[in-house]
Structure formats: structure tokens, C-alpha cells
Amino acid sequence: GAVVSQHPSWVICKSGTSVKIECRSLDFQATTMFWYRQFPKQSLMLMATSNEGSKATYEQGVEKDKFLINHASLTLSTLTVTSAHPEDSSFYICSASSGSTNEKLFFGSGTQLSVL
């Protein structure tokens, strides 16, 4: 099946620093990528929808200036957590779709962010 690579797998950073997470579709062109946040033992909360070459669409309550998303190519989307604080500590996971209707999602392996 299709592969989505997410990097890094985990990151520990100091409060106030910015962290960039990359999501790559390795063997298909991802017209659309999605970024989720997952707290322990909870469901996936959609943060934003990223479309190649256009601005991301953020879900209600998600700060776009806090979580910067760039989808510069059909195989790469990045999420930058700016000026991270301890409350931003979470498991961030991306998924990709080729854009067809009723298309299943392929998930990256996730990034565990810990902000000290």
C-alpha cells in the first residue's frame, strides 16, 4: 500500500522554540494532507486540511499563526508549531489522500512532541 513518512518520530524542545514536522507521501501524489492531534487514549482531532499550492483550511479553535502549515509540493506538507508551550505537547499525526472522492487515508507514523 501507499506509504506516508512522518519525521521526526519524537521531539523534545524547550518552551518558546519552534518545531517543524514533515509529512511525505513516498509513492503517490498527495493532493490533500490532513494534520491531526491526538491526546493519550483519545480520538484524532482534525487540526487543518492542507491542499497543495494553497492556504491550509484550519478547523475551528485551531490557531493558524500557532500551527503553520505549508504544502509546497504534491509529496510534502509541513507543520510548524511556533513558540511551543507545554500545553502543545501531544501526538501529531498526518494523513494523505490522493484527492479522489471516497479515498481512504494513509497515515504517517506520528510525532510525539514534548515541550519542557
**Binding footprint of other proteins on the chain (CB under 8 A):** 1, 31-32, 34, 41-44, 46, 49, 57, 93, 95, 97, 99-110
State the Cα–Cα distance between residues 50 and 35, nearest whole angstrom: 8
User: Residue 10 Cβ, how far from other proteins at the closest point, in Å?
Assistant: 11
Minimum CB distance to other proteins smaller for 14 or for 100:
100
User: Residue 15 Cβ, how far from other proteins at the closest point, in Å?
Assistant: 26
Contact indicator for 27, 3 with CB cutoff of 8 Å: yes
What's at 100, amino acid-wise? S
State the Cα–Cα distance between residues 74 and 24, nearest whole angstrom: 9
Minimum CB distance to other proteins smaller for 16 or for 99:
99
Q: What are phi and psi of 89, to 5 degrees?
A: -60, 125
User: Residue 115 Cβ, how far from other proteins at the closest point, in Å?
Assistant: 20
Look up cell 501524489; give the residue.
Answer: 29
User: Residue 9 Cβ, how far from other proteins at the closest point, in Å?
Assistant: 10
Rg (CA), the chain: 13
Minimum CB distance to other proteins smaller for 46 or for 76:
46
Contact indicator for 35, 47 with CB cutoff of 8 Å: yes
Minimum CB distance to other proteins smaller for 93 or for 113:
93
